[in-house]
Amino acid sequence: MTDLPSLRLRPKADAQRIRHGHPWAYLDDVVADRRSRALAPGSLAVLEDAERSPLGLAAVNMGSRIAARMLDRDPAAIIDARWIETRLRVAAQLRDRLYDAPFYRLIHAEADGLPGVVIDRFGDIAVLQPNAAWADLRADDFATALQALGLRHVLLNASGRARTSEGLDDASRWLAGGVDAPVEVPMNGAIYLADLTGGQKTGLFYDQRPNHAFVARLAEGARVLDVFSHVGGFALAALAAGATEATAIDGSAPALDLALGGARAMGRSLITRKGDAFAQMAALAEDGETYDLVVADPPAFAPAKPALTAGLRAYERVAKLAAPLVAPGGTLTLCSCSHAAELTKFRAACIRGIGRAGRQAQLIRTGFAGPDHPVHPQLAESGYLKALTFRLLP
């Protein structure tokens, strides 16, 4: 038996969904009485169905839209550094079979059994994003568990957008060790520089690895344009594969500096253009510039359903501005990291934009995140990334 408090589902809630693996119970699903509302954010409770039959051990935050996150089907489980280490080792076993170097997403939240937690690995450095209250409270246990796996440096990155809804602060800090300089990351034959403390997200976007690789297969002898390039994701992969020229566009000067540093580390040159991506694409079109490969990987224009309509219009506009920059027979890769813009709607927006630009296209590939970003089968949000590659006909 456990001495933990219980949290009960309302009779209308779908307990079978949770029994079959769904990792969340929403606030509207649970009995929100004085006792349950007194539970501190991040505390643990036994989640029960309406008949008080236990469903498992959950982390509770009654101040969040997600009131309960399932941690373990065993209601008597002990959530400590050893329990976390077991989950980390299971996740690491998969990644170490997939990749020949320890640079990858180690934990992809619910899909790896650690709800609300993202961990990216950079050699012996881990960047931990505890985006749920239970994990933030146990950050030191995560650091202990990561060190048990041989990682020397652990950074708590508090920039995750979801932390606000969990009532968490935005104070990042080193939990173990510490590094000052950008980290070199080998990927797809290229070298990237990741700023772990000052860059976007955890410093690098590992999710695009297979999409970088596909674009790189088309890059030998090509002229390449990488729009919303961040630290040069597609541009550097293309240069490593033999592109004759690559241009990176981004609004962040620090990100472009890191892209240039990666190119130098590879012994290649990179052209950069700092500024608003929409304005830069329009200017290149006015100048009559065309490229064999054009990639646009914008930030999430539709991070949630209320932004979906405006987000789809923005994706359509990206496609409309990018299509004229593609040389006849060249390729256009358009990406979305908005989970609210599901694949069918995103693809339709891209096709409309290409058509409005007066171009005809073949869709030659639909890409997603790499296998270090597994998808939870019952949580569509975990499969957020889409990458469409079109060949624009002569």
Per-residue tokens: 104? 């990858």
Per-residue tokens: 324? 């004229």
Residues 44, 337, 387, 388: which is the catalytic one?
337
Closest to 29 (Cα-Cα) out of 20, 21, 18, 44:
18
On the 0-12 / 13-18 / 19+ scale of CB atoms within 10 A, 184 is middle
* Rounded-to-integer distance, Cα 196 and Cα 9, Å: 40
State yes or no: is 350 an active-site residue. Answer: no
Per-residue tokens: 76? 């008597």
The residues facing 47 across adjacent strands are: 7, 56
* Rounded-to-integer distance, Cα 254 and Cα 229, Å: 12
Q: Strands, DSSP E only, in the chain?
A: 6-8, 24-26, 43-48, 54-60, 66-72, 103-108, 117-122, 125-130, 153-156, 173-176, 183-187, 190-194, 223-227, 245-250, 271-274, 291-296, 326-336, 361-367, 386-392
What are the phi and psi torsion angles at 189 (to 5°)?
80, -5
* Rounded-to-integer distance, Cα 154 and Cα 175, Å: 5
**Could you give the residue numbers annotated as active site?**
337
